[in-house]
Structure 1
């Protein structure tokens, strides 16, 4: 089995790959091997980002998008956790609502955007509502299956030892679901950004999605890519925060190295 590379060497390779891709992008567009009209130019994209922050233009748009993302991420996660736990522990409610949950999950959520715009207006809450529908189902299904996959033998043994329903929830079901929850949160980060930006596309006066939409209207591919890069950076920051929380709450879980040993 190939030995796992050291962390400094791995980081060095990742940074080297990043600069190689940027250099390839620069060379291909500089010599028009890849038309810059369609692919932009890295130096122009970097200049767009610099101008946004130097002039302060980006802050109100960035704050709007981040606020929508964080609200939808938090609301969708809490709702998905609560409903997933409830249906996993209540067989009757699960059987009763199963077709409705499947129907709601199979529905293309983008069609809800005009409805939310009518209900909540063109402010942030219509974007939050759309993004919540994306985040909710990712968390819900992971929590639901995480609780349902708890070994019946483990539950029976805990009950034989006198565990109450609250103790079962706290010491058996919640630890089992926690790994599934954090797995879903990594996917939910991207979903929250997608919902916020798509909502801004369909109707808004501010936000990074609004800036990208304006740039698309005048075929300014460099500004479009600059907006994509900005959103990607902040999505990675939020994902890193989730990873740190995951390591904190799942400190009991053995590492891959210890499992191989």
Structure 2
């Protein structure tokens, strides 16, 4: 038998709050340990600093880049490409995912073509998009959209399909029309799936932008990494990778914040306890 247990829920939440500093401390310890190991391996010559750079060198280069205005121009271009790819791919994935899930005939007809399109290696598309759209931002946006669309599409499609037939039957018995079903049944069911896919889609949107810049561009973080690689500047390459990592963490944190506000209705796992 399952019954709400408010005191237990409060205690569980308190444990989560109390454990937050410990969690952050452990995460910082792991990061510090990684940099210390990297420093020891390069300082002792077990790893060649020419090929693996040094953590101090990478941090110094990153700090130096962050102090220059030109760096933010490249960062802004990559950010714009990422946001556009993420927004277009997400909206298209949600709309088409809902459409396919609610139209079985359309889904059956286009199923093999969707799977075939998803199977195409995206790196192959990068030069094609560059040929079609030029070396500006839109070829990078198109590559990012091709990566994010399918992630969101399949999650939304599955989320709508997972709606309980019992809930649908009860909603129809209450007199809900198609629009009300979409708003009160299908959307809440799919929202968890949508946000689950968005955390992955953010990273892939950035990958699309950076790969496109790497293969052909005149600005952007991917362009900077390609330039550094071209002159065997390993420190510059690792510095660019560090900035990209921080970039993704910031965007993903923003998605998590939006998710926590929009999905407050989701029950906490600690909200119920089992009693026998």
TM-score class, shorter: over 0.9
Q: Unmatched 5+ residue regions in structure 2?
A: 1-14
Measured in 1, the distance between the counterparts of 2:273 and 2:137 equals 47
Q: Unmatched 5+ residue regions in structure 1?
A: none
Counterpart in 2 of 1:87? 100
Counterpart in 2 of 1:27? 40
Counterpart in 2 of 1:154? 167
Measured in 1, the distance between the counterparts of 2:197 and 2:217 equals 29
Secondary structure of the corresponding residue to residue 57 of structure 1: helix
Question: Structure 1-normalised TM-score?
Answer: 0.96
Q: Which runs of 4+ in 1 moved over 3 A?
A: none
Segment drifting more, 159-168 vs 22-31: 22-31
Task: Tell me: higher relative CO, structure 1 or 2? Use CA pairs within 8 A at least 6 residues apart.
Answer: 2
Q: By how many angstroms is 1:14 displaced?
A: 0.9
Counterpart in 2 of 1:221? 234
Counterpart in 2 of 1:253? 266
Counterpart in 2 of 1:97? 110
Q: By how many angstroms is 1:240 displaced?
A: 0.3
Alignment of 1:64-83 (within 5 A): 64-83=77-96
Measured in 1, the distance between the counterparts of 2:273 and 2:230 equals 53
Segment drifting more, 128-137 vs 31-40: 31-40
- Closer, same or farther in 2 for the Cα pair 1:259/1:193, shift >3 Å? farther
Over aligned residues, Cα RMSD in angstroms? 1.3
Counterpart in 1 of 2:149? 136
Question: Structure 2-normalised TM-score?
Answer: 0.91
Choose which of 4, 24, 29 in structure 2 pairs with 1:16.
29
Partner deviation per Cα, 1:72-96 (whole Å, 9 max, x = no partner): 0011000000000000000111111
Partner deviation per Cα, 1:143-195 (whole Å, 9 max, x = no partner): 00000111111111111110000000000000000000000000001100100
Secondary structure of the corresponding residue to residue 34 of structure 1: coil
Partner deviation per Cα, 1:53-83 (whole Å, 9 max, x = no partner): 2232311111111110011001100000000
Partner deviation per Cα, 1:1-54 (whole Å, 9 max, x = no partner): xx8771111111111211111111111111112211221101111111122122
Q: By how many angstroms is 1:260 displaced?
A: 5.6
Measured in 1, the distance between the counterparts of 2:47 and 2:145 equals 38
Counterpart in 1 of 2:10? none
Secondary structure of the corresponding residue to residue 45 of structure 2: coil
Secondary structure of the corresponding residue to residue 267 of structure 2: coil
